[in-house]
Amino acid sequence: MNRVAPKPVHLREFQDRFARALSDGAQAAERDAALARLVAQPGFAVYRNTVQKGCIDNLVANYPSVTRLVGEEWMRAAAAEFVRTLLPERPMLLEYGAGFAAFLAEFQPAAELPYLAGVARLDRFWTEAHGARDEAVLAPGKVAALTQTELTRTCLRPHASARWAWFAAQPIFSVWSRNRYGDGQNGDLEWRGEGALIGRPFDSVQAVELAQADVAFLDACAAGRTLGEAATAALAADPDVDLAQSMARLLSAGAFAHCEVDRL
C-alpha cells in the first residue's frame, strides 16, 4: 500500500506557525499535529517562557511611567496579555510594543484609568525619539532672516525625532512627566487639555508641554503646509494664540530640521 507523502512545509510558514505557538501553544497544537509534538517537549515550554519574559521585561522597561502609575505587578500582568496577542516582528526589541497604548485603551482592567493609554503613548514617543536618526536642528535665525514674502512661501519640516500630540480633556503631559521624571504625585493637577512634544534634537530626549495651537501648527507643517497655512491652522485651534511666541517656543524646542522656501 502506497503511503501519501506529507505536504512539504516551507521554512517561512513553519516559522510563522512556531511563533504563534509561542504565544498560544495549546490552540496551535490543536490545529497542527507537527506543532503538537513540538509543544509537548519540555524544552519548548522553557523557550516559550523565556521569550515571553523577555517581551514583558521589555515592555516594563519601555513604559516606565505606566509602570509607576499602576505598579509593576499590574503592569507585568497587562504586558503578559499583550504579549499573548502580539509577539515581536523584528529582532530589535526597541521597536516592540508600538501598539501597547492602543491595547491599554481597550483593556478592561484599565477602564478606571482613562489617562493610562495617553501616558503610554508618551512613553512610546520617548522610545521612538531616542531611537530616531540624528538630524541637525533648524536655527531660529534662519527663519528670522526670511523676508515677509519668503515667509508666505516657506515650509518647515519637523525634526526626525519629533513626536507630538494634543490630549483634549486630560493633563496627560503633566501626569506623564511627574511619573517619568518627578515624584509621581498627581493629586493637585488641574484636569484640562494638554499637548506634548517629545524629541531628541540635541544629545538627549527632551519633553515640552504644548498648547493646542502649537500642536495644530506642527500638524500643518508635517502635512507640508506653508507657514501662512500653519498659522491659520493654529488660529483656528485658538484664536487668541500669540503666533510669534508659539513659533519661538517650537524653534527653541528643536521641533524643526529644515526650512524650505519656494522661490517660484
Write out the three cell numbers for 119.
Answer: 501616558
Segments forming the whole domain that contains residue 227 = 130-261
216 burial (CB, 10 Å; 0-12 / 13-18 / 19+) is buried
Residues 170 and 207 in one domain: yes
So what's the pLDDT on residue 84?
A: 85
Give dist(CA 6, CA 3) in Å, integer: 9
Query: Tens digit of pLDDT per residue, the chain (264 long)?
Result: 555 555 555 666 666 666 666 656 555 555 666 666 666 666 666 656 777 898 999 999 999 999 999 999 999 999 999 998 887 777 677 788 999 999 999 999 999 999 999 999 999 999 999 999 999 999 999 998 988 888 888 999 999 999 999 999 899 999 999 999 988 777 788 889 999 999 999 989 999 999 999 999 999 999 999 999 999 999 999 999 999 999 999 999 999 999 988 755
Q: Total structural domains in the chain?
A: 2
Closest CA to 174 of 152, 156, 154, 191: 191
Q: Max CA-CA distance within the chain? A: 89
Closest CA to 164 of 203, 121, 193: 121
Residue 257 covered by a domain: yes
CA dist list (Å): 191 to 9, 14, 88, 105, 187? 56, 51, 36, 19, 10
So what's the pLDDT on residue 10?
A: 65
Write out the three cell numbers for 189.
Answer: 493637577
Give the start-end residues of each E strand in 95-251. Answer: 154-158, 163-167, 194-199, 206-210
Give dist(CA 152, CA 155) in Å, integer: 9
Residues 105 and 134 in one domain: no
Residues 173 and 253 in one domain: yes
Residue 24 identity: D
SS3 state at 40: coil
Residues 233 and 146 in one domain: yes
Residues 135 and 99 in one domain: no
Residues 146 and 227 in one domain: yes
Residue 60 covered by a domain: yes
Residues 157 and 77 in one domain: no
Straight-line distance from the first to the last Cα atom of the chain, in angstroms, rounded to the nearest whole number: 81
Residue 59 covered by a domain: yes
Question: What predicted TM-score, i.e. pTM, was given to this entire model?
Answer: 0.84
Residue 3 covered by a domain: no
